[in-house]
Structure 1
Amino acid sequence: MIFATTPTARRFGWLAAVMLGAVQAVANPIPGEDSDVPKEIPLTDSAAQYRLQRLYVKQRFDSPVAMAVMPLPEPRHAIMQQRGEIWVLPQDEILGTPERFLDFREQLKKVILFEEGFHGMAFHPDFAQDGKFYISYSTVEPRRTIISEMRTTEGNPLQADPSTERVLLELPHIMANHFAGGLAFGPDDKLYIAIGDGGMRDEPYRLAQNPFSLHGKLLRIDVDDRTGALPYGIPKDNPFADKQEWRPEIWALGLRNPWGFSFDRVTGQLWLADVGQDIWEEVNLIKKGRNYGWSDRDGPRQAGFHSTPFLPDRKYEEPVYAYMHSEGVSITGGFVYRGNRLPRLEGCYIYGDWGFGTLSALRYEPDSGTVQERFSLHRRPENTETPFNPTMISEDVSGEIIIMSQEGNVYTLIPAAGE
């Protein structure tokens, strides 16, 4: 999810960008069509109104990267660890102990670089009946992204059977970063898959704009069908399903390293965070067949490293919101809040920044198609002994906020006093 492949490279790689952003930035930018003066969005500092509360205090997770709800008669939550394990969380978050659902560490034992390993998971909408779930991971020799289907063991929905793995998709990957790999079933019961651009700086191969490459795309497939010799189906209403020059799996294109996407449980809208390179971080509303610009564009502006579009006559969808590296360097995607605990955040998009250790919210106005307010919800205190680098922000079965952090803790957000 990060533009550098080691913590050290990351730390110094974005320092120059922050300095550049400080010179170029206007506070709180919202993108317009190549506008030189971004409009200012009102910022409400709400950090004093909320606090993090650690969950599952008996367990420290090893680089948690995803959480999903297991759709059982009594729903359970599962957390994915980057190096090859999935754990079912206890129903009693104070006294309970997580149970290991999948141990895939042997298969990933050669996967050691910073962004390699497990990336995403999703449970089939009929999981309670068919026991099917889906994982995204990267492996080596050769380096590639794999999307697989697995099943649980007979009679035990809380125990995966790795021998049932069925590979749906293998995609060669250039570098050991920008895998993306998020998975989610939409309201239409189709599986959506986020794939990064391959990982090279300035994206010299232009894969994110190439219609016959799956890199830098959001894909949509039907896991309950088959098209020709493919191990999955191509939905007939995919935007490019009838175009020979396009890969029919593509739902949207022009993404760099989409890190976190989700469907609003009320509206069904698809929100996606895309990690930027040197200047911009993006929040996007994904629409069928739209082009989100990378790497013809960088954030809301034309990319300085590509003087011409990859293909002529391209039209681009603008980010809902983009911020410069003076206020964050690696966006972590989240979801639109529909819970009950924090009524002031109803309908807000919750997201974070890995590098700055922040949590924020955007209030989007659908009639105008613009963000009206920003809220600062949490800032990592300086000189703290507890690191906080959000790797993913998800909603639990009740719509409440779950935040996973790099160091292995899992949190929720609660009112500091009482709302």
Structure 2
Amino acid sequence: MKNNNFRPFSLLFFGMVFLFAACTNQKSDLIFESEQGKIQLEMITDSIRVPFGMCFLPNNKMMVTNRFSGELIQVDLKSGRKTVIKGVPKSYCRLDGGALDILPHPKYQENDWLYFAHSVGDSTASTMAIDRGKLNGDSLTQTERIFTAFPYYPSPSHYGTRMVIKNDYLFFTMGDRYDLMDSAQTLNNHLGKVMRIFDDGRIPKDNPFVNTDNAKPEIWSLGHRNPQGLTLHPKTQELWLHEHGPKGGDELNLIKPALNYGWPIICHGIDYDDTPIGDGITHKEGMEQPVHYYTPSIAPSSMVFYTGDKLEQWKGNLFVGAMALTHLNRLVLKEDKVVHEERILKDFGRRVRVVRQGPDGYLYIGVDGGAIYRLKPI
């Protein structure tokens, strides 16, 4: 016979246990071992469900996108106080869609431009767009759309998107939309590509496919799956990217103009039903091999080269957030080759959605669930 009193009591009991554990966890020091010593996680703020994008502004301010809600949130780094920014263009928030990357112009203190990538549309058709605007108090003003990816498509999956600015150029990624993976190999769309435009949306005349018939002139490279990491090497200023593989085969790539990185023709992973991707090949002439790949997949999020002095032993290392294997991935590179890998925060059990270096020289991570932490050496 069913005990009708059990369920309410159980829910109350486990709810109290969960609340106690959460409060205890927030108050206690989160300390983890690394090869270079102990690391403490200092919580900055919490309750941002999916902190996809993160960047820093003057006066101890941080901007965070909440992919789940489409919100752009300003965080005070001293107090942890959150302010939801008004006037932000509406996002289509479903599955992979929502508020994606956020990026200040390198000359932000002169021009005030903030770049905001997000999915737009509705359940019938959606795509990725990039807007820019200027922060005025707690509002985003003077917004203008400088890019919209083609085509719109119903699936709410694989939008990318990460952005970097190099000189006057904005580089950004776009995913293959999952169902349209073959589009990553054709030039008449933006899917599975890296793009380059001027920071005001104009198309550079020296882009590699500007004069190619039926090609989208913004394309810089092709053959990508779902790139959610993009950064510049601090010394060479070369463009580095990582992208999700299917089941295995997450890739780290050094991006050069006009090159084809192979997806879905070559891949170091397999499909989710354990069948091969395409012909199941990993190499083909005219297609680039990754600098490094992960099998099994770590589900990489964002990435950054560390250049600060607070964690001197990590200077020059590449840090990648890992979601499926819940850790912070540290890569040591020598002459564009990965010579060592360390997996930090493995015992944390949180999906590291974004990793950035702050102006104070510390690394910051955002985790799904979702809190922002500062990494400090002990």
| Coarse TM-score class (shorter-chain normalised) | 0.7 to 0.9
Deviation of the 1:250 alpha carbon: 0.8
The TM-score with structure 2 as length reference comes to 0.80
> Which amino acid counterpart does residue 124 of structure 1 have in structure 2?
H
Match of 1:55 among 43, 49, 52: 43
Distance 2:316 2:153 in 1: 36
Q: Deviations for 1:208-228, whole angstroms, at most 9, x for unmatched residues?
A: 11122210001000133xxxx
Deviation of the 1:322 alpha carbon: 0.6
Distance 1:395 1:114 in 2: 27
* Closer/same/farther in 2, CA of residues 166 and 248 from structure 1, 3 Å limit: closer
> Which amino acid counterpart does residue 66 of structure 1 have in structure 2?
G
Deviation of the 1:197 alpha carbon: 0.4
Deviation of the 1:112 alpha carbon: 4.7
Match of 1:146 among 128, 151, 157: 128
The alignment status of 1:397 with 2:359, answered yes or no, reads: yes
Indicate if the aligned counterparts of 1:240 and 1:246 stay in contact, CA closer than 8 A: yes
2:199 aligned partner: 223
2:18 aligned partner: none
Task: Say how many residue pairs are matched.
Answer: 338
**Root-mean-square deviation (Å):** 2.8
Match of 1:262 among 221, 231, 234: 231
Indicate if the aligned counterparts of 2:94 and 2:156 stay in contact, CA closer than 8 A: yes
**Matches of residues 269-418 of structure 1 in structure 2 within 5 Å?**
269-299=238-268, 304-307=276-279, 315-325=286-296, 328-366=297-335, 369-381=336-348, 387-415=349-377, 417=378
For structure 1, the residue ranges without an aligned partner over 5 or more in a row are 1-44, 225-231, 382-386
2:207 aligned partner: 238
The alignment status of 1:189 with 2:168, answered yes or no, reads: yes
Deviation of the 1:352 alpha carbon: 2.6
For structure 2, the residue ranges without an aligned partner over 5 or more in a row are 1-32
Distance 1:65 1:354 in 2: 12
1:159 aligned partner: 139
Match of 1:114 among 95, 111, 119: 95
> Secondary structure of 2:234's partner?
coil
> Secondary structure of 1:380's partner?
coil
> Which amino acid counterpart does residue 347 of structure 2 have in structure 1?
R
Indicate if the aligned counterparts of 1:150 and 1:165 stay in contact, CA closer than 8 A: yes
Indicate if the aligned counterparts of 1:87 and 1:102 stay in contact, CA closer than 8 A: no
The TM-score with structure 1 as length reference comes to 0.73
2:6 aligned partner: none
> Secondary structure of 2:47's partner?
coil
Deviation of the 1:286 alpha carbon: 1.4
Q: Percent identity?
A: 23
Q: Deviations for 1:100-139, whole angstroms, at most 9, x for unmatched residues?
A: 334648x34xx45321211112223343344332211113
**Matches of residues 81-100 of structure 1 in structure 2 within 5 Å?**
81-82=66-67, 83-92=69-78, 95-100=79-84
2:7 aligned partner: none
Distance 1:116 1:191 in 2: 21
1:247 aligned partner: 216
> Which amino acid counterpart does residue 173 of structure 1 have in structure 2?
Y
The alignment status of 1:66 with 2:42, answered yes or no, reads: no
